[in-house]
């Protein structure tokens, strides 16, 4: 994800789509969808239908009568009378029918004769309330409005005669994992059970714990000397930035555009964030083996090699160089609707600002929280300042309960490699709202179907989650013999 989508690519679980800037690059939902799609039988798509539902622009203002069309997907080929309804809540990316063609929701529906649905979040994909992504139009983008969208969709589905006795289960990962848990909180009479995978339910401005977790992963699972080597490389960058000659050498080594002013603090901070992203990616989406392999590749290098993508906004195709120009990155953000939407949500609801303010990592102290505040104000205007960020975070935690939500029949799962787990629920909320930490697992991995090389602990966690859901909805009477 851009700054914020470093945050989210580095949030969303179904998210590494095309990379636009740091934030665009670090989008979780896209990666999840890509992996799902790669594993699919393409001929299976015929069983999924694309549908639309009219939604109020504002569910909470009686005087607002504008509407918009929300997209969702439906799959009914495994459904039998009285079977449950499973809804995959999509997060900060375009939804896909792939969500209904593999993974834990698909398996549950197949094993319990369930109906499958997937919803698309307002302002993402084709579910657009407005044609223009202006700051004024973003006023109707919030998790609360998105939850009300899901509630209206489920109410309409439940109004169909064949679903009168059907239980409802919602599933989500990362930010959408938050939404799954919060659906059970705000609409307990509508939702019977929920799976909240890798859900960072605690909104937090300075998410310094993220890089602490990345550091822990490389110290525990990297090859000998890796953690020390990372520190040496980053400290060398710090030394090079101290002189004009050092910056000139850095530009040559790192293929930084000659026109980029690397004395400008925001550009320098963007450089350090981009370098940290390489390690953030491995911690969030990799595994023990990939972390170790990455370390092996660093042994004889004094550089951290950045990703190059045709659509990566820091890379200039025209001049074949990296343009660490903060203002240029902001302008590129404006061209990508979902990045603008998610960044707005981080600035107004969640924070999730991955800083280097902790000293418990080797990435130096060159990514301050203020960098994210600057992105908010430069993108949406001066009113979107630090105070507004803090007010939005407080409102979010007050509304949903942070790490102690008042919910039952929700299972919270996290991988112990995943840095997002530091904002998630790691201990049981109650007997009927358990937490499961999965060893050697990364972001949202439990939402996938089993693969041969998956750790046994991950396979066991998936079985545990399915057991709980079936128990909570009384699915034994639906289950196939």
Q: Is 240 helix (H, G, I), strand (E, B) or coil?
A: helix
Read out DSSP for 123-156? Answer: TBTTB-S-SS--TTGGGG-SHHHHHHHHHHHHHH
Q: What is the per-residue pLDDT for 307?
A: 58
pTM (2 d.p.): 0.92
Distances (CA, A) of 430 to 409, 421, 435, 460, 462: 9, 18, 9, 21, 20
Q: What's the number of CA atoms in the CB half-sphere (13 Å) around residue 298?
A: 27
Q: Is 316 helix (H, G, I), strand (E, B) or coil?
A: strand
% of the chain surpassing 70 pLDDT: 87
What are the pLDDT digits (tens) for 227-251? 999 999 999 999 999 999 999 999 9
What are the pLDDT digits (tens) for 171-186? 999 999 999 999 999 9
Question: Per-10-residue mean pLDDT for the chain, 481 residues long?
Answer: 45 37 46 58 71 98 97 97 97 94 96 97 98 95 98 98 96 97 98 98 98 98 94 96 97 94 97 94 94 89 63 72 92 90 97 97 97 97 98 98 98 97 98 97 96 94 97 74 37
Residue 55 β-bridge partners: 68
Long-range contacts of 469-474 (CB under 8 A, 24+ apart): 469/108, 469/169, 469/193, 469/195, 469/411, 470/108, 470/111, 470/112, 472/192, 472/193, 472/409, 472/432, 473/84, 473/112, 473/167, 473/169, 473/192, 473/193, 474/167
Q: What is the per-residue pLDDT for 316?
A: 77
Which residue has tokens 């935690």? 397
Q: What is the per-residue pLDDT for 52?
A: 98
Helix ranges restricted to H, 311-455: 326-333, 337-345, 369-380, 386-400
Residue 431's CB: how many other CB atoms inside 10 A? 7
Q: What is the per-residue pLDDT for 299?
A: 83
Q: What is the per-residue pLDDT for 39?
A: 54
- Dihedral of CA atoms 256, 260, 266, 271 in degrees, nearest 10, equals 0
Q: What is the per-residue pLDDT for 11?
A: 47
Read out DSSP for 319-358? Answer: TTEE---HHHHHHHHTT-HHHHHHHHHIIIIIEEE-----
Please say whether the beta carbons of 269 and 243 come within 8 A: no
Q: What is the per-residue pLDDT for 103?
A: 96
Structural domains of the chain in order of their starting residue, each with its CATH number: 56-201+404-477 (3.40.50.1820), 220-395 (no CATH)
Please say whether the beta carbons of 98 and 44 come within 8 A: no
Which residue has tokens 């998210």? 15
Q: Is 173 helix (H, G, I), strand (E, B) or coil?
A: strand
Q: How far apart are CA 8 and CA 285, in angstroms?
A: 12
Residue 264's CB: how many other CB atoms inside 10 A? 14
């Amino acid at each position: 994800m851009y700054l914020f989508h470093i945050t989210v690519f580095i949030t969303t679980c179904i998210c590494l789509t095309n990379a636009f800037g740091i934030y665009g690059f670090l989008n979780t939902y896209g990666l999840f969808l890509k992996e799902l799609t790669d594993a699919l039988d393409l001929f299976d798509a015929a069983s999924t239908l694309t549908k639309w539902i009219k939604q109020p622009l504002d569910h909470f203002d009686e005087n607002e009568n504008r509407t918009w069309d929300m997209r969702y997907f439906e799959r009914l080929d495994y459904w039998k009378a009285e079977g449950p309804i499973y809804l995959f809540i999509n997060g900060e990316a375009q939804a896909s029918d792939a969500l209904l063609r593999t993974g834990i929701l698909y398996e549950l529906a197949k094993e319990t004769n369930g109906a499958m649905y997937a919803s698309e979040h307002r302002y993402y994909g084709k579910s657009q309330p407005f044609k223009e992504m202006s700051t004024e139009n973003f006023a109707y983008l919030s998790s609360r409005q998105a939850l009300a969208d899901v509630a209206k969709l489920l109410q309409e589905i439940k109004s169909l005669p064949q679903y009168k006795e059907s239980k409802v289960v919602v599933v989500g990962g990362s930010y959408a994992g938050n939404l799954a848990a919060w659906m059970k909180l705000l609409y307990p009479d509508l939702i019977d059970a929920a799976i909240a995978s890798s859900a960072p339910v605690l909104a937090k401005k300075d998410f310094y714990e993220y890089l602490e977790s990345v550091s822990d992963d490389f110290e525990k699972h990297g090859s000998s000397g890796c953690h020390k080597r990372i520190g040496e490389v980053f400290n060398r960058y710090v030394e090079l930035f101290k002189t004009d000659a050092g910056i000139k050498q850095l530009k040559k080594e790192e293929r930084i555009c000659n026109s980029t002013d690397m004395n400008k603090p925001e550009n320098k901070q963007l450089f350090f964030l981009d370098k940290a992203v390489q390690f953030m990616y491995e911690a969030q989406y990799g595994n023990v083996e990939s972390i170790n392999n990455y370390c092996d590749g660093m042994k004889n290098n004094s550089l951290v090699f950045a990703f190059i993508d045709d659509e990566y906004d820091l890379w200039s195709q025209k001049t074949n160089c990296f343009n660490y120009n903060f203002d240029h990155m902001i302008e590129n953000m404006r061209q990508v609707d979902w990045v603008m939407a998610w960044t707005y949500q981080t600035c107004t609801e969640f924070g999730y600002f991955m800083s280097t303010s902790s000293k418990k990592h080797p990435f130096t102290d060159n990514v301050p929280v203020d960098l994210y505040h600057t992105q908010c104000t430069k993108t949406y205007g001066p009113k979107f300042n630090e105070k507004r960020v803090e007010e939005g975070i407080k409102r979010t935690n007050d509304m949903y309960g942070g790490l102690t939500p008042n919910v039952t029949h929700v299972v919270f799962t996290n991988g112990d490699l995943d840095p997002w787990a530091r904002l998630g629920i790691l201990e049981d909320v109650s007997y009927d709202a358990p937490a499961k930490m999965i060893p050697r697992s990364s972001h949202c991995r439990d939402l996938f179907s089993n693969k041969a090389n998956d750790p046994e602990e991950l396979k066991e966690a998936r079985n545990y989650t399915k057991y709980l859901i079936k128990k909570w909805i009384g699915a034994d009477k639906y289950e196939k013999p």
